[in-house]
Amino acid sequence: MKKPLILVTNDDGITAPGLRALIRFMSEIGEVVVVAPDSPQSGMGHAITVDDTLQASKDDKESPDGALVEYSCSGTPADCVKLALQEILDRKPDICISGINHGSNASINVIYSGTMSAAIEAGIEGVPAIGFSLCDYSWNANFEFAREAIKSIVSEALHNKMPKGVVLNVNIPKMEADLPKGIKICRQARANWKEKFDKRINPRGKEYYWLTGEFELLDKGEDTDEWALANGYISVVPTQFDLTAHHAIQELNSWSL
Residue ranges covered by each domain of the chain:
5-188+222-252
Residue 42 has what pLDDT? 87
> Per the annotation, does 12 bind a ligand?
yes
- Residues present in the chain in total: 257
Q: Which residues, in sequence order, are CB contacts of 17 under 8 Å at separation 6+?
A: 102, 139, 140, 141, 143
Residue 1 has what pLDDT? 65
Residue 44 has what pLDDT? 87
> Per the annotation, does 253 bind a ligand?
no
Residue 69 has what pLDDT? 96
Q: Which of 237, 133, 227, 233 is nearest to 183 (CA)?
A: 233
The crossing angle, in degrees rounded to 10, of helices 147-160 and 17-27 is 50
CATH code of 5-188+222-252, in short, is 3.40.1210.10
Residue 229 has what pLDDT? 97
> Per the annotation, does 98 bind a ligand?
no
Task: Name the pTM for this structure.
Answer: 0.93
Rounded to whole angstroms, the Cα distance separating 103 from 208 reads 26
Residue 175 has what pLDDT? 86
> Per the annotation, does 101 bind a ligand?
yes
Give pLDDT tens digits along the chain (257 positions): 689 999 999 999 999 999 999 999 999 999 999 999 999 888 889 999 999 999 999 999 999 999 999 999 999 999 999 999 999 999 999 999 999 999 999 999 999 999 999 999 999 999 999 999 999 999 999 999 999 999 999 999 999 999 999 999 999 999 877 889 999 999 999 999 998 999 999 999 999 999 888 899 999 999 999 999 999 999 999 999 999 999 999 999 999 98
Q: Which residues, in sequence order, are CB contacts of 8 under 8 Å at separation 6+?
A: 19, 22, 23, 26, 32, 33, 34, 35, 36, 67, 96, 97, 98
